[in-house]
Amino acid sequence: MTELSELSVQEHQATTERLLKGIPASAGIAICSHNVVVIKKLRPSKNIQVSPEKIPAEIKKFSIAIEKSLAEITSVIHNDHETAIHDIMETYSMILQDPTLQQEITKRIYTTRSAVQAIEDEFDAQCALFQNAKDEAMRERSAELDHVRHRLLVHIGKRKPISSISNGAIIISHSITPTDLLELHKRGVSAIITEIGGIASHVSILARSLRIPAIIGIPNITKKIPENCTVICDGYSGTVVINPTANTLLDYEQEQVKEQKKQKALGQIIELPCETTDKHTIKLSANIETLEEVDAAIMSGAMGIGLVRTEYLVKSDGSFPSEDEQYIWYKEIAERMYPHTVTIRTFDVGGDKKGGVKREENPALGYRGIRFLLGNKKIFRTQIRAILRASNHKNIKIMLPMISQVKEIKRAKKIIDSVKHQLREEQIPYDTHISVGIMIETPAACCIASDLGKYSDFFSIGSNDLAQYTLGADRNNGYVADMFNELHPSVLRLMHHAVTGAKANGISVSLCGELAAWNTITSLLIGMGITELSVATPALLLIKSKIRKTHFESAKKTIEKILLSGKIPKEFRAKSKKRKTMK
C-alpha cells in the first residue's frame, strides 16, 4: 500500500511562494495550512530477521494482525450502506482469509523472518504477478493486495492507518485508485493532487462526481511538498500553490467566497424551466454510479438519470452481482427518481474498466462492452432480467454500450426479447414497451448512425471513448493527455453525423460523456441538435444556467460554421474559467 506522513503546520514560515502546474481534473479550491497528507510509496524493509526463539511471538503478531484487520473490515461492512464499499471490503476479507497466503507468510516467518518482513516479502511476490499487466483489472488486483498489506502492517504497528487522515485534509499522492478515493471521501478530504492520471480516467470522473477538487499529472509532487507548508489546490486552473504569500492567500479565500455565492445563486434556478432564451427545451439529466448520487441529483433539479454505470456493481475480484442484487439496486434508483426516466447502461466491462477477460494485448480495442455481453450471454441475460423486473413503473430505459455494428443490436435485442418471453411465462410483470437505445462511442457507429437508428429507440453519445478512438489517444494515459481533445474537429464532425442519423430515424440523441459538463461549449452541443445532456450532479445547475442563457438559433449557426471550417473559436476551447497565474 502506501506510507502516510502528515505535514502538520504549527506556525506559518516565511518561505518563498512556489507554483506547480498540473492538469485540472475536478473543479474547486481547497486551502490547507495544517492538514496536508503525503501518501508515499512503501519503501522496502531491510532484511529483518529474528532469533529462532522469537518465531512464535512473530507468528502471534501476524495472527493478531489478521484478526484485527478482519474485525475492522466487518465493522465497515455493517456500518456502511454503500454497495460498492461492501464489495471492496468483501474482497479484502477474502484475501486476508486466503489459506495459501497465510501459509506462505507463516513459512517465511519460520525461516527467521520477522512478521513485517514476511508480510512484505510475500505481498511483493504476489503483487509482481499483477502490477506490470497490460490489463487494467489485473493492475487493480495489485492495488487491492497493497491495501490488504497496508492494513496488516497498520495492526502490527509498522504503518499509520488511513483512518488517521482527518476531515479537510489535502492528499498528495503518486496515484489514487477509485477505492482510495471512496475511502478518502468518507473521511472528508478537501482535495487530491497526484503525479499521474488522465482527465477522463475513472478516478477523475469520480472526483468530479464527489465534488472533490483534483489536480493530476504533476511529476514527483510527493517529493516537492516540503514539511511545514501551506498548500492551495486550484482545481480550476490546475495550479498548486506552495507557501502562498498573504496576498495570494487572501485572493484565493475571496475566490472561495465567490464560488459559494455562485452556488447559492445557481440554487435559485432549480425550479425554473430548462430551456434556451428562444424557448427550446433541453432535457438535463445526471450520470450516477451510487445510490447516494440519486438523491443529490434530485435536489439539484435533474430531469432524469441519463446514465447509470452498472459496471460499478461488478465486484473487485471481477465477479458479477446476482439477479436479485441487481434488481434491488435498479428498483431503488427507479423508485427514487420516479416519474423521471432512468437509463441503465448494461455492463460496460473490459478495456479500462474492471471485469471482462484478462491479459488482452490491447484491452481498449478488445473484448469489451457489447462484445463481452454477447459472448457471455448468462451474465447479459441475468442483467436484463433484473432490469426488466425493476421496470414495472415504466420509467426505465436500457442502453447498450460500445455498439459498432447493426448485427450487435439485433443479437442483443433478440436476447432481450427472449428474456421478456421468459418473464411472461413466469407471470412476472415488466414494462412491455421499454426503450432500448445504444451508446455511440466509436467512429464506426457515427459513420453508420442512420443504419443503427433503424433498430434503436435513442442514441447516447459517449464523448470520452469517441475522442479516444478517433484520436488514438488513451484517455487514461497522462503521457498523451495533451492529445486527448474532445473538441477536435474530427470528433465534432462525427458527433454531428450521429445526430443527423438520429434525426433521420426520428429518435432522440443525448450526450452523457464528460464533454456535456463543459459549460463553455454547452451552446455548441445544443446548436448541434443534441436534445439531452447528462452530466455529473455537481455540474447540473451550472449547465442549466448556461442553457438558459443560450439562444438556440444562434447556436445552430455557430456550430455550422465550426463544422464547415474545422476551426474552434478561442472562447470555446477552455474547459474551465481561466485564472490569473499569481507570481
Catalytic-role residue among 127, 233, 274, 512: 512
- C-beta separation of 412 from 356 below 8 A: no
**429 contact partners, CB below 8 Å, separation of at least 6:** 392, 423
Cell reading at 174: 503518486
Cell reading at 436: 432500448
d(CA 455, CA 451): 8
d(CA 133, CA 289): 26
Is 512 annotated in the active site?
yes
Phi, psi at 404, each rounded to 5°: -135, -5
Residue type, 577: K
- C-beta separation of 306 from 362 below 8 A: no
CB atoms within 10 A of CB 68: 15
- CA dihedral angle for residue 482, residue 487, residue 492, residue 495, rounded to 10 degrees: 80
Peptide bond into 339 cis (omega under 30): yes
Is 393 annotated in the active site?
no
- C-beta separation of 169 from 35 below 8 A: yes
Q: How many H-runs (helices) and E-runs (strands) does the chain carry?
A: 21, 18
Catalytic-role residue among 202, 229, 233, 446: 202
- C-beta separation of 543 from 561 below 8 A: no
d(CA 192, CA 188): 11
d(CA 7, CA 169): 10
CA Rg value for the chain: 25
Question: What does the chain come to in residues?
Answer: 583
Cell reading at 57: 511471538
- C-beta separation of 104 from 123 below 8 A: no
d(CA 208, CA 205): 5
Phi, psi at 441, each rounded to 5°: -145, 15
Task: Give catalytic residues, as residue numbers.
Answer: 202, 512
